[in-house]
Each structure stands twice: as structure tokens, then as C-alpha cells.
Amino acid sequence: METSKSALEHMRRAYALGKRVWPDYRSPFSRHDYTRPQLFACLVVRESLRLSYRKAEASLDDVPARRKVE
């Protein structure tokens, strides 16, 4: 397996893995803000950068390219 220090690359790979693992299921009671693969990708980036939830959110807000990854 290849390793990368790029948070954007981690996010792309995590999102692709999440799309393969989780079905396109949503609860009717959900607000439908994010899909499971998107949330998984954010958590992978948070863990890889060793950030708190608040710092991870700020990091994702600071870089517009990370919000458009698909």
C-alpha cells in the first residue's frame, strides 16, 4: 500500500473507499447534509493530521479544494 502525507490525497482515497463500502442509504429522518462516505473522509483526514474536531473543521473550511473532493 502506498502512503501519502497529503491530506487531500487521504480524503480522496477515503471517500472512494467509503463509496464502495457503504450503500447509498439515508434515513428519512436525516437532515441529508452529508453522506457517510463524506463523513468518513473527514474523519480520516482528522486522524491522519492528528487534529481535534474543531481544528479539523477549521482546516476543511480553510482549503476550498477539500470541500469539492469527489
Q: Which residue has the cell 492528528?
A: 50
| Within a domain: 29 | no
Q: How many domains does the chain have?
A: 1
**Number of residues that make up the chain:** 70
Q: Smallest Cα–Cα separation from 63: which of 47, 43, 45, 48?
A: 45
The residue range of the domain holding 45 is: 7-21+34-67
pLDDT in tens, 4-45: 678 888 889 999 999 999 877 777 887 878 888 988 998 998
Looking at the predicted structure, is the pLDDT value of residue 2 above 90?
Answer: no
Residue type, 19: K
Q: Which residue has the cell 468518513?
A: 40
| Within a domain: 26 | no
| Within a domain: 44 | yes
Q: Smallest Cα–Cα separation from 56: which of 38, 44, 65, 64?
A: 44
